[in-house]
Amino acid sequence: MTARAAAPRKAPKAESHLAMVRRARRINRELAEIYPYAHPELDFRNPFELLVATVLSAQTTDLRVNQTTPALFAAYPTPEDMAAAVPEEMEEIIRPTGFFRAKTKSLLGLSAALRDEFGGEVPGRLEDLVKLPGVGRKTANVVLGNAFGVPGITVDTHFGRLVRRWKWTDEEDPVKVEAVVAGIFPKSEWTMLSHRVVFHGRRICHARKPACGACPIAPLCPSYGEGETDPEKARKLLKYEMGGYPGQRLSPPADYPGKPAPALGAG
């Protein structure tokens, strides 16, 4: 009697767009419960400080920016002050953030533009912000969402990585990613969604070794298994307050459950 050949395994059924949207919105709801304290991780007291800090955050950590800006704003508290800065003196202050010559050029340019074109005030419109030296859509959306309450999606490296892992989109271009995600969520969710996704990317879903075994939304993730799946090993990969370590802000919000970051040179 001839043995029957095993039936070929069926390929997994492709997810419909509607199913993906439902899954994406459930992920957002889950993240809201995991990170009810999600917030911008740059220290700032006004729109100008947030704008400057966001420009400085390129190619460095928010922690290093937060450790650098107290001295910067003590020296140049207003756009008028910063526009009149001696470039070499500003370079020395912001040197710890890297690319300090290019960043100094951007800060001098945007400060002069704020002084000359906007009466020393940061504008609250995307079309005005992106005209400032060193300011792109990502920076503009950070400022609009967190200093003016205007909803915006901030597509940084963490956000782009996670939305691709979650199969919300396969786009690589940040502007296209922003457009796709904007179509999935109501506008009222855009700013907080950005914070939640970035928080998750920094704390659990890391670029090189995501902590899959310690991830609360693992059942919703089509990329589960790309990282460490053993729960004990995965827990050791958790960062910031999830791992019991300080956060990135020297002055975090009152509801932040972790420790404040140390000042520059404080160990």
Catalytic residue positions? 138, 156
**b/e per residue 166-187 (b: at least 16 CB within 10 A):** bebbebeebeebbebbbebbee
From the list 82, 195, 206, the residue with the least C-alpha distance to 142 is 195
Q: Cβ contacts of residue 260 below 8 Å, gap of 6+?
A: 246, 247, 249, 250, 251, 252
Q: Cβ contacts of residue 246 below 8 Å, gap of 6+?
A: 240, 258, 259, 260, 261, 262
Residue 151 has φ and ψ, to the nearest 5°, of -55, 140
In the structure encoding, which two tokens stand for residue 122, read together? 């940061």
Q: What's the rounded Cα separation, in Å, for the pair 33 and 36?
A: 6
Instruction: Yes or no: say if 145 and 152 are a contact pair by the CB < 8 Å rule.
Output: yes
CA angle 58, 64, 67 (to 5 degrees): 130
Q: Cβ contacts of residue 34 below 8 Å, gap of 6+?
A: 196, 200, 216, 217
